A and B are shown apart, each in its own frame.
Chain A
């Protein structure tokens, strides 16, 4: 019944490793997002996809690469992890790009050691 789900919930890894976070929504929405919430609690958009097409690509290091195999899934792959990547990553979805309400997943807590 979970509307927006993410895996894993926790991710602890060493600097330099490559990791992926997966997101799935069962709401039938067209648009999906990745947000980063840092230690200061600011929630900042990273990427957005609409119907598998990238529509928002904020100033994010190119070590971060989103992939949308279909409109219900948006994954985030991070190469060469750095200490500063430690944060909570939230996936969200909305019915359309211009749809106001966003539905957030539970978050993935990434700790880079």
Chain B
């Protein structure tokens, strides 16, 4: 069974701080995605990475796919209260089905 472990599970930080969330597996994936989910809503896609070592930036968010395509990280610079939410990684080995990570619940305090 493929597993995607995220760390940390919970994170509470002050506005303006930086943070990194990790998504790790022992399996190789062809594609990995990061989502953010807010209470009462479905997850919203932030980014898709497909190439080992790939780095993508979305404003203050930086996403990296590991060289071996087994892991990924999400770095947020100068976090804001609007970044609060549940962050989920999801990955596929080439089929249409994605498995989701265990989730990281982020709270940014003003």
The judgment on whether A and B are partners is no
Chain A contacts to B: CB under 8 angstroms:
none
